[in-house]
Amino acid sequence: MKNIIIADGHMHLGSDPLILNTGGDLSGFLEKMDSLSIGIAYSSHYCWLLSRFKDGFEMSLKAYEESEGRIHFLGVYDPGKGKESLRYLESALKSPGFAGIKIHPSFHSTFADDPSYLPAWDFARKYKKTILSHTWSLTENPVQKFSIPRLFEKNINDYGDVNIILGHAGGRRNGRLQAIDLAASHSNVYLDIAGDIFCPGLIGKLVEKPGAEKIIFGSDWPWFDPMCYLPRIFLAPISMKQKEMILCGNAMALFGPHIHPEENNDKISKDR
């Protein structure tokens, strides 16, 4: 089989206070990347999600440097601390590791269609950055109501030139159906498969609608091991070209670095 690069489009360095998992440290993830031949990853650092802006920013820069450019990062926009969020996003523009903007309406207890998110969309438009948002379905977990996919529809329409990835492909069934419809009907909407959405045949079904060009592999490390996802993609009943798009091409097109994946593959294997 042709040697293809793998990019983890949705993972986290740092640790979530809700999980007792030590896997969020940099060396643990680098080992995981090496063991699974993951060439590039895109991290939303937990300190940044927790609005510890300075720590999140500095640790993200450090991870980019120490990983020799393999772990890129997203800067988090907290709608309750908009000015401070923007200040750090602006500082991040100086780093080639800055890949996009992360929003997490459930984490920040703010509905995704709240106007306090508009500065993040304006920033994304101005600097041509992709937004990755947590999305989920309505469940017994009360904070998921902030992140259901249909809440994004107005901004998706108003910011047709801003690409957005609906993380976790909308979660369970009712959210997933909304996310699939949005991605199928809007050129700027993508889905990632991070998180515990392990229903059978998922990859094949998403390739039917909205299509392989809209799907991104992500693991949600340290919640889950990327090892759980890769066989699902490699063994899915889809073409090699579709697998390449899901494993790497789509994420790199949205987040950068904007070089041809094969060139990058050569670079990464030479560097290691």
Q: Report in angstroms how near the CB of residue 152 gets to Zn ion at its nearest.
A: 16
b/e map 17-40, b = 16+ CB within 10 Å: eeeeeebbebeebbebbeeeebbb
Q: Report in angstroms how near the CB of residue 190 gets to Zn ion at its nearest.
A: 15
Q: Report in angstroms how near the CB of residue 194 gets to Zn ion at its nearest.
A: 6
**Interaction with Zn ion in 205-234: which residues (CB under 5 A)?**
220
Binding status of residue 8 toward Zn ion by CB under 5 A: no
Of 78 and 220, CB closest to Zn ion: 220
Q: What token pair was written down for 168?
A: 């976790």
* Backbone dihedral region for residue 74 (phi beyond 0: left; psi -120 to 50: alpha; all else: beta): beta
**Interaction with Zn ion in 147-176: which residues (CB under 5 A)?**
none
Q: Report in angstroms how near the CB of residue 263 gets to Zn ion at its nearest.
A: 29
Evaluate whether 60 touches 51 at the Cβ level (below 8 Å): no
The CA-based dihedral angle spanning residues 260, 188, 147, 52, taken in that order and rounded to the nearest 10 degrees: 50
Of 220 and 244, CB closest to Zn ion: 220
* Distance set, CA 95 to CA 78, 107, 139 (Å): 20, 26, 38
Of 110 and 265, CB closest to Zn ion: 110
Q: Report in angstroms how near the CB of residue 38 gets to Zn ion at its nearest.
A: 16
Give, as one character, the DSSP assignment of residue 109.
T
- Phi/psi of residue 130, nearest 5 degrees: -85, 145
Using only C-alpha atoms, the chain has a radius of gyration, in whole angstroms, of 17
| Size of the residue set binding Zn ion (CB under 5 A) | 1
Of 63 and 238, CB closest to Zn ion: 63
Of 88 and 107, CB closest to Zn ion: 107
- Judged by the rule CB under 5 A, the positions of this chain that interact with Zn ion are 220
